[in-house]
Chain A
Amino acid sequence: PPGPVGQDPRGWRVPVDCVRANELCAGEPSCSSRYRTLRQCLAGRDRNTMLANKECQAALEVLQESPLYDCRCKRGMKKELQCLQIYWSIHLGLTEGEEFYEASPYEPVTSRLSDIFRLASIFSGMEPAATTSKSNHCLDAAKACNLNDNCKRLRSGYISTCSRELSAAEPCSRRKCHKALRQFFDRVPGEFTFRLLFCSCKDQACAERRRQTIVPSCSYEDKEKPNCLDLRSACRMDHLCRSRLADFHTNCQATFQSLTSCPGDNYQACLGSYAGLIGFDMTPNYVDASTTSITISPWCSCKGSGNMEEECEKFLRDFTENPCLRNAIQAFGNGTDVNVAP
């Protein structure tokens, strides 16, 4: 007989998505009432006051045994926002909410960069590693995108939205530009988007094209550079941004435990979560058109951090001086991936 939902043959829980978990919970009177209680507990209260309440604590303990506890979401899934809202409604009660690195609410990425290279070479009809000294990979990537209807449509969509000048004071609608960028990166496969974002460059014109990919004058730059911690807290107010940032930290956080500095030597996961940040407050980009060194940063600085400067710089370094991210971008540009035995 089949085991209970959410368990694999070894008896381990297999993460179900939170929308499904929510439905399962709704089917059980005890779970659904506890879940309702917890949501009331979390509404407008900080974690410590919440845990001081016996009823809230009890609800949390019961829910830790429910499928809601281990549930995850998928990038670009139907009802992604709803899924993330359910995820955070439980997890904001579990963690302190002030953690430096938060665990990703997304399912782990199992595919590899090599899958992308394979597909990309089918699409373009050429070897991904074929490099002649004259070729401009970023230009090739744009051409490849223009030959695909979906990529072309969504790319021209975000480019025209992001370059539409509203008035002298407002060069564009940042909100609409971000939305169009999110659509592009969510709906166009990585074979196209990664090639545009992470193409390797030998000259400045190419690197400038790479920097311009996301129309930084609208989506990235601003009149003033906010403090990075301020930007982070703005991002954490939004379930989607918070999730994408947590996903970036989970997949791109440099570690000594692997050869490539990436968690599980998974470049694809890191690049995917980097692309997932584009179109949010925390949108990252290349800071210049340098061909020799790749520096990535969100639009923020650590000026004015006061006593939190150490924390701010640590946060910023995960973008600017991150060996995992740098290796992943370079590996993609070179068309190499690590061979990991399954």
Chain B
Amino acid sequence: MKALVAVKRVVDYNVKVRVKTDGSDVNIGNVKMSMNPFDEIAVEEAVRLKEAGKVTEIVAVSLGEKKCEDTLRTALAMGADRAVHVETDAVLEPLAVAKLLKAVAKKEQPQLLLLGKQAIDDDANQTAQMLAALLNTPQGTFASKVELEGGEVLVTREIDGGLETVALKLPAVISADLRLNEPRFVKLPNLMQAKKKPLEKLSPEGLGVNIEARLNAQRYAEPKQRQAGEKVANVAELVEKLRAVKAI
């Protein structure tokens, strides 16, 4: 079966993002960009399913500016077979992303659609659920285990009190949690090979999807800064201070 994996290019997780002084945006000029960590896990899972003989072809999809090609090349180097880039400089909200992915899925007809559970920039945690809704397929969100079995996919999900397992009819949308797997490192020869793999270019217009922004980001602000407090010398002093502020 065919698997489709959606990957997003985001500010690297180690970068501490700052808000511009005029509050108009966050400052992400010249910072390191990487594949969203949750999407790396989604790609890894697709590759493992292919290595296990369950998946025959992996199509990686990314949406956005030209440089998303780099992210797609990384996915190809990890083991995806080909890539689709829906190129646009527009700001894409999760609903628009879900609509674009739906349009790509209609062309590709995958049985398995793998995404990260959230992007570490907008922290929305919406796209997979929206895509499943638009395709009228089941969803296995926050997955920490995925097993293909008899025309169904068994997904173990991370929920607040522990874990739960659901069985989904195919085609199905799955969103990866951190615990699903440990993504492999990309080796140089694989990166070289990835340059030869096919990368198809599409546009939102070509797919007939309206991506007009619905939300207006009015301003950005730094979080309230916590100040470093005081050093205490020992446990007795700590207990005394906590009693003084009525924390215990």
A and B bind = no
Binding site for B on A (CB under 8 A): none
Binding site for A on B (CB under 8 A): none
